[in-house]
Amino acid sequence: MPSSPPNPPGPESNTGPANAVPSTTATDATLAGGWAIGGMVIGILVAFLWSFGAASLSYAKYGSIGWAILDFFFATVYYPFYALVLNTPSAPMMGGRSLRWLRKMF
């Protein structure tokens, strides 16, 4: 009489490495939450300093608290505008002086 094929094992016996569930302890979860909060605090601090720098440049340029507050909130627009339009260099460019000897020759 032919024998029947063996029954496949149940799901509880399938404990190989492919089905392993990583265990997370309460300490791991607390540390992960602490790193997330620390990263957010650092990000907020950097964003505040970035905006404060734009407000400081604006106040130094115009002497107006109103413009400084406006530029605090629009710092990402103000920095390129300041660099390309508003900034007036106080000293000549470094390469300009090195050509004086050439002008004296001719």
pLDDT of residue 45: 97
Q: Which of 57, 88, 87 is nearest to 72 (CA)?
A: 57
Quick check: 85 and 58 in contact, CB under 8 A?
A: no
User: Which pTM was predicted?
Assistant: 0.56
Residue 16 tokens, joined: 């190989």
pLDDT of residue 56: 95
Query: Could you write out the DSSP letters of every residue in 26-38?
Result: HHHHHHHHHHHHH
pLDDT of residue 35: 83
Query: Per-residue pLDDT tens for 34-86?
Result: 888 888 999 999 999 999 999 999 999 999 999 999 999 999 999 999 988 88
The answer to whether residue 53 is domain-embedded is yes
Domain residues for 64? 47-87
The answer to whether residue 72 is domain-embedded is yes
Question: pLDDT: is 1 or 74 the higher one?
Answer: 74
Q: What is the DSSP letter of 7?
A: P
The answer to whether residue 33 is domain-embedded is no
The answer to whether residue 35 is domain-embedded is no
The answer to whether residue 74 is domain-embedded is yes
Q: What is the mean pLDDT of the chain?
A: 78
Helix-strand-coil percent breakdown of the chain, rounded to 5? Answer: 70, 0, 30
Q: What is the mean pLDDT of residues 16-45?
A: 76
Instruction: Please give the tally of structural domains in the chain.
Output: 1
Phi, psi angles (nearest 5°) of residue 53: -65, -40
| Sole residue written with tokens 């790193």 | 35
The answer to whether residue 103 is domain-embedded is no
